[in-house]
Structure 1
């Protein structure tokens, strides 16, 4: 079973992409990259999850938007449950500038057999897609008191927060269940084109954003694996297929 994470560029620009594989009782990191167009993203999906192979695709973007105006139910619920962590999500409706692009991605994945999975049978291997949101996922996976603020702010502060995420991924995900194989992380670390553990103090602008996109994509892929592995036992689903939905790992002090 493979788990593909897509940190989607809602408006334009590059999207971070990650592929994990469940093998020998652990998740192996197979690929980290970035592409800009939906066509290139789908071509990447076809390489790593060709039909009819089972796979879970976890997308950080509103791929289901039923409401013409206002906020979707899952958007409202992120503010209700995660607002205190500063993890409420951006509202989506059909009038949003990004709506056509994000829903097009979801429909293109459906055409490839990836059905929406706000309900799932644990560890059943099919072709699924879900919507995820890295900020509350990171808060819950690593038992944080607030989000890591690497998206906005002064460059020095963004670097510091992104460096924290590097360490949580490198040291935290291998300690969770399902665990991410640390050796596969080290292999990626030594691969220059996909080095998400590089020294951030030398990076700015698009170079820092490239690392951020890949880290977010890895979190997306891991959340997809966590949903497949545990289902509702250790995950929260905000919304449903009719309203749009977001899958978020539950918080547990037993994880780390």
Structure 2
């Protein structure tokens, strides 16, 4: 068996630990002979995602967990500066950003599962360090919706963001579900990630996707964001915010970078 050099884990945590509504986790394994393996997304609680991450690290020199949940939340109320910058783009696309603050019980209070997960994981939260490292366990915060207008340029425009959450029956569009998966498949094929492209093709064939299917899809997007951060050129991604007040990592086309840059400058939020 060929040893893996890097494992990139995508974890859509669902923010709270509800047994009937778990998140999802998957991984991209990059081997020392240049091959890529894909561990398909599976539903997972925080505990299960922790065990999944530990197992991935056992077989990888470098392991990155790309988590779809705020990982640094020092503010007692309102929202983080990075949330305001991200919100400027996401709201323009027609979506929304849930504000993160410590008053949200079950999500970010002192007893919230995210903090237990981080402590037990024991990962280093240093996005730039993860890029440079050849070994170690790292954690970054990502946001799937931020990735979509870069993965698919057609989603960059006023109210043009895809509506692919099956739980939102009034706005969900099957063609948007399939469009997001087509964008993922195209990216994966270019990068030689055949396992992801095959998985996306099967997911696109679903006639009635469920929320659990979207959670799995978001986990895959998380993993791809982590992949781009580690493997692609630095200018292909963006870091908004900082390690003191909160941050996000996202792919960034020139258009996305320009729009986020204006919002960050207006709010004096660090960018890259």
Same fold per TM (> 0.5)?
A: yes
When normalised by structure 2's length, the TM-score is 0.77
2:223 corresponds to which of 221, 224, 247: 221
- Counterparts of 1:138-217 in structure 2, within 5 Å, are 138-143=148-153, 144-145=155-156, 146-151=160-165, 153-154=168-169, 157-175=172-190, 179-182=191-194, 184-185=195-196, 188=199, 197=203, 199-201=205-207, 203=208, 208-217=210-219
State the Cα deviation string for residues 11-38 of structure 1 (Å, max 9, x = none).
Answer: 3321111110123546431232112x32
State the Cα deviation string for residues 136-188 of structure 1 (Å, max 9, x = none).
Answer: 1111122222321112643784322111112112223322xxx1422x23664
1:15 corresponds to which of 9, 20, 23: 23
1:130 corresponds to which of 140, 143, 154: 140
Whole-angstrom CA distance in 1 between matches of 2:121 and 2:244: 21
- Counterparts of 1:66-145 in structure 2, within 5 Å, are 66-97=74-105, 98-100=107-109, 104-106=113-115, 108-120=117-129, 122-125=131-134, 126-143=136-153, 144-145=155-156
Gaps of 5+ in 1: 190-194
Alignment: residue pair count: 239
1:93 offset after TM fit, Å?
0.3
1:51 offset after TM fit, Å?
8.2
Task: Report the CA distance shift for 1:8/1:101 in structure 2 as closer, same or farther (over 3 A).
Answer: farther
Whole-angstrom CA distance in 2 between matches of 1:10 and 1:240: 21
Do the aligned residues in 2 keep the contact of 1:132 with 1:220 (CA within 8 Å)?
yes
Task: Report the CA distance shift for 1:53/1:111 in structure 2 as closer, same or farther (over 3 A).
Answer: farther
Gaps of 5+ in 2: 1-5, 256-272
